[in-house]
Amino acid sequence: MANRFDAIVRCSKGHLFTTIWVPLASFKAVRLGSRRYQRCPVGRHWSMVRQVNPDDLDPQQREAAAAVHDTRIP
């Protein structure tokens, strides 16, 4: 179930997924400016990730990103 903090992100290897992105806070990642270092659930690796504007993605990319959500905060 999506919430207002869910955001589509792209890792440095190009994988798209959904994560919780709270401005000025980081619960599961190390913040480095507008990017974060966190685990990519698609490639199962640690990577720099950045937010992606959903309007810049085609419908298939948005659907793929929505299908994979990283670990939720307990």
Measure the CA–CA gap between 1 and 24, rounded to whole angstroms.
23
Backbone angles phi, psi at 38, to 5 degrees: -155, 175
| This prediction's pTM | 0.84
Q: Which residues are registered as beta bridge partners of 6?
A: 20
Model pLDDT for residues 23-56, shown as the tens digit of each residue: 767 767 777 778 899 999 999 999 999 999 999 9
pLDDT: is 8 or 20 the higher one? 8
In which band, very low, low, confident or very high, does the pLDDT at 5 lie, cut at 50, 70 and 90? Answer: confident
Reply yes or no on whether the pLDDT at 74 is more than 70.
Answer: no
Residue 21 burial (C-beta neighbours within 10 Å; 0-12, 13-18, 19+): middle
In which band, very low, low, confident or very high, does the pLDDT at 17 lie, cut at 50, 70 and 90? Answer: very high
What integer pLDDT is reported at residue 67 of this predicted model?
95
